[in-house]
């Protein structure tokens, strides 16, 4: 592990693994959120209660997830700084050439916006949840989740900030998805076409799904 973090290739490999882990998390997270579209009587409350009180999810998967998120952001900044230091003189003309797209050169910017979003998002939901369960020790209420989520999206400023973040998330994913596969060595043209197609669909549908959830709760207030 220490060896992997010493070389650029090793760091990119670990970065890609953490990215893939987060790609799976986003899919699960969106699936649960989409259940909220079925309304207060739908399956969202039961699913959220299960996720919130299952000991395996709470005490094994949640810490791993948080470590994965922190690792991904820290490693992203480390790679960016190392890249900049390796190229101390700026290119005279930053041409959009070769396979370097505007997005691939600006992963750090979209990443920083997502990091800001996560700060707000943790405050909105996670901190509230930890307070409810562990600090205030309030009674278990299996029916509260849908109402709590719905109330958050009454504020148009929050909805706008979330939607802008999801658009940036889409841009981040549009490069990050295929880049993570390349970094773990899936470079064969046979796989590349498939990975690119899958990445394009993933980076459109996942953020769009989150946007639908936020806008749905706003317009149904
Ligand atoms: C409309 C969109 C979204 C809604 C309504 C939403 C809602 C929620 C809710 C209700 C929780 C549970 C808090 C808890 O019980 O602990 C949560 C946790 C979380 N969300 Fe989201 N989320 C959205 C989008 C996102 C996106 C796009 C990301 C990542 C870029 C994200 C990352 C997280 C993380 C890392 C957690 C902490 C997971 C945990 O509790 O273990 N969320 N979100």
154 lies in some domain: yes
Contact status, residue 183 vs residue 13, Cβ threshold 8 Å = yes
The verdict on residue 96 lying in a domain is no
Q: What is the CATH number of the domain that holds 153?
A: 1.20.1300.10
Q: Could you tell me if residue 94 is inside a domain?
A: no
Burial (0-12, 13-18, 19+ Cβ within 10 Å), 10 = middle
- Answer yes or no: is the C-beta of 210 below 6 A from any ligand 1 atom: yes
Ligand 1 pocket check for 22: Cβ under 6 Å: no
pLDDT single digits (tens) 147-173: 999 999 999 999 999 999 999 999 999
> Residue 135's domain spans which residues?
2-89+103-219
CA-derived radius of gyration, the chain:
19
pLDDT of residue 100 exceeding 80: no
- Mutate which of 18, 24, 27, 29 for ligand 1 pocket (most atoms within 8 A of beta carbon): 29
CA–CA gap between residue 70 and residue 14 (Å, rounded): 13
* Span 135-151, pLDDT tens digits: 998 899 999 999 999 99
Nearest CA to ligand 1 atom 10: 125
Domain total of the chain: 1
* 108 lies in some domain: yes
Q: Is residue 95 part of a domain?
A: no
> Is position 179 within any domain?
yes
Instruction: Please report whether residue 98 resides in a domain.
Output: no
């Amino acid at each position: 592990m220490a060896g992997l973090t010493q070389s650029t290739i090793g760091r990119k490999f670990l970065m890609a693994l953490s990215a893939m882990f987060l790609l799976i998390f986003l899919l699960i997270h969106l699936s649960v959120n989409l259940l909220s579209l079925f309304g207060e009587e739908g399956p969202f409350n039961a699913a959220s209660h299960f996720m919130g009180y299952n000991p395996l999810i709470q005490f094994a998967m949640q810490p791993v997830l948080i470590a994965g998120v922190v690792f991904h952001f820290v490693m992203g900044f480390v790679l960016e700084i190392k890249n900049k230091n390796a190229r101390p003189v700026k290119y005279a003309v930053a041409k959009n050439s070769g396979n370097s797209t505007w997005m691939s050169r600006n992963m750090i910017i979209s990443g920083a916006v997502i990091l800001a979003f996560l700060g707000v998002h943790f405050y909105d939901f996670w901190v509230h949840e930890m307070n409810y369960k562990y600090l205030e020790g309030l009674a278990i209420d299996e029916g509260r989740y849908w109402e709590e989520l719905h109330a958050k999206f009454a504020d148009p400023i929050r909805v706008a900030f979330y939607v802008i973040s999801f658009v940036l998330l889409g841009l981040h994913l549009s490069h990050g998805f295929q880049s993570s596969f390349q970094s773990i060595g899936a470079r064969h043209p046979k796989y590349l076409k498939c990975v690119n197609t899958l990445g394009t669909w993933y980076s459109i549908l996942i953020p769009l799904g989150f946007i639908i959830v936020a806008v749905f709760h706003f317009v149904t207030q």
